Amino acid sequence: MTAPVHHAIGAASALLIQKYLPAGSSQGARMGWAFGIAILSHVAADAIPHAEHFLKGWRLWLELIVETTVMLAVLVGASRSPFVAAVILAGMAGAAIPDGLGMLSHRVNWPALLWADNKMHLTHGKLNLFYANFFLQLVITVLCSIYVRIESSA
């Protein structure tokens, strides 16, 4: 999937999990759950066959920087508190980790990174329910972004 859909799903899942944590949970525990569920959201989303970024090299890096900047503005922009903003950021970061590790593992030849990348992408494209083309990814991104904006401004 593309970076914006991972950021949006990660942020939405990070906010959603907060509703199911015990009321007395510490902020550290809440952040940990937000980050962890976002990593899992990436793995789950990538299990669906999907369109990928087609740019390479510096053009891909430029695209990722622009997409991430836009998603930061969209997702964090309506936060009602610094803690909610931090939860959203943890969700965005957690959702980006699997592909970030993958990109890093292709740059440096560290066996541990290659192993982690292989494990996180073990189910990549294997859930053949439908194909998530770029339009469907845009729809998912918009819906998750609306959820994040509503939840973070309440």
Which pLDDT score, from 0 to 100, does residue 109 have?
A: 83
What is the model's pTM? 0.91
Mean pLDDT, rounded, for 119-136? 88
Q: Which residue has the higher pLDDT, 28 or 51?
A: 28
Q: Which residue has the higher pLDDT, 109 or 34?
A: 34
pLDDT at position 40 over 80: yes
Mean pLDDT, rounded, for 26-39? 98
Total Cβ atoms within 10 A of residue 69: 10
Which pLDDT score, from 0 to 100, does residue 147 have?
A: 97
pLDDT in tens, 77-126: 878 899 999 999 999 999 999 988 888 887 888 888 888 888 888 888 88
Which pLDDT score, from 0 to 100, does residue 15 have?
A: 97
Instruction: Quickly list H helices, the chain.
Output: 3-18, 27-46, 57-76, 82-107, 111-120, 134-153
What are the residues whose beta carbons fall under 8 Å from the beta carbon of 13, sequence distance 6 or more?
Answer: 37, 38, 40, 41, 91, 95
Q: How many residues does the chain have?
A: 154
pLDDT in tens, 76-91: 987 889 999 999 999 9
Q: How confident is the model at residue 48 (pLDDT cuts 50, 70, 90)?
A: very high
Query: CA-to-CA distance for 42 and 88, rounded, in angstroms?
Result: 15
